[in-house]
Amino acid sequence: MTDILPVNPAPGSLVRPAVRSRADKGRRLSLGRRALGPMLLIAAWAGSTSAGLIDPSVLPSPGTLGESIVRLWTEQALLHQVGVSLARAAVGGFFGALIGLTLGISAGLFRLGEELLDALLQMLRTIPFLALVPLFIVWFGVDEAPKLLLIALATLFPMYLNTYAGVRNVDRKVIEAARSFGLGGARLIREVVLPLALPSILTGLRFALGVSVLVLIAAEQINTSAGLGYLLATAQLYQQVDVILICIAIYAALGLGADLVVRVLERVLMPWHAGIAVR
């Protein structure tokens, strides 16, 4: 029989589990692999522009974009413009996701709700959002209302579809078992249905927040005097390619940030999913 040697930690210190050490190392390795692609792309971009392979009027160098960011920060209040756009996406996305969640739960739980809501929402979600822009301008003017409504309407449908599917896929035997223990009404929904449908709901939220950023680009073309859409329209008017690329990069960063928010929610609300990954 092999003897097991005791581990004598230093006084006042704790033994760090090997599993956690391997997990930290794997996390750092994963982050490194994720960053490798963008770093290689930026390096190729910088090399091509410095070697003269790409016309600067078509694609400015990373250094030129850095100078443009500084100029936008000081002269155009870039942080304020980003804040305005972020507020629009957040407010519109919040109300759209909340309404979609409520309608999805109603249609998923109750036959009457499905009969009243599902056909109507399935029909409305096929309408191109850009086709609604002139109609919303006629109805609500050119202030913030049409922008927020357009974002809310766009985020409503992915949230509704995923919530409806998640609720409908809850095992009916589990619901019946919960009812046999006296659970019913709002308590049954809160303690049984929603936790089991949570993966689909969070997937819907991820799609909804991503869509809110996509529709933000179209919404901010409606007579904006502030926000990324205003910077983008001005840059298009004066053919400022560097500013256009900066605005596109910020939109992409907002989309990435929205996805990270949902990932954090998944870790908090469903910690058992964090350890499930394909090695």
Tens of pLDDT along 67-92? 888 988 888 888 998 999 999 999 99
Does residue 90 lie within any of the structural domains? Answer: yes
pLDDT at 170: 85
Quickly list DSSP for 259-270: HHHHHHHHHHH-
Cβ 113 vs Cβ 54: under 8 Å: no
Region 113-131: mean pLDDT is 84
- Alpha carbons 277 and 279: distance in angstroms, whole number: 6
pLDDT at 1: 45
Q: Maximum CA pair distance of the chain?
A: 85
Region 4-33: mean pLDDT is 60
Region 136-148: mean pLDDT is 84
Q: CB atoms < 10 A from the CB of 188, how many? A: 17
Does residue 4 lie within any of the structural domains? Answer: no
pLDDT-derived band at 238 (thresholds 50, 70, 90) equals confident
Arithmetic mean of pLDDT over the chain: 81
Does residue 163 lie within any of the structural domains? Answer: yes
Structural domains in the chain (count): 1
Domain at 103, CATH number = 1.10.3720.10
Highest mean pLDDT: which range of 33-42, 96-105, 210-219, 268-277: 96-105
Does residue 157 lie within any of the structural domains? Answer: yes
Burial group, residue 102, by CB count within 10 angstroms (0-12, 13-18, 19+):
middle
pLDDT at 187: 80
Does residue 116 lie within any of the structural domains? Answer: yes
Does residue 140 lie within any of the structural domains? Answer: yes
Domain that holds residue 131: 80-225+262-268
Q: Is the dihedral of CA 58, 35, 199, 187 positive or negative?
A: negative
Highest mean pLDDT: which range of 47-61, 180-194, 211-225, 237-251: 237-251
With a cut of 70, say whether residue 266 has pLDDT above it: yes
Q: State what percent of residues in the chain have pLDDT above 70.
A: 89
pLDDT-derived band at 102 (thresholds 50, 70, 90) equals very high
**213: which residues sit within 8 A by CB, 6+ positions away?**
89, 251, 254, 255, 258
13-27, 133-147, 187-201, 207-221: least confident range: 13-27
**114: which residues sit within 8 A by CB, 6+ positions away?**
107, 108
Does residue 12 lie within any of the structural domains? Answer: no
Does residue 31 lie within any of the structural domains? Answer: no
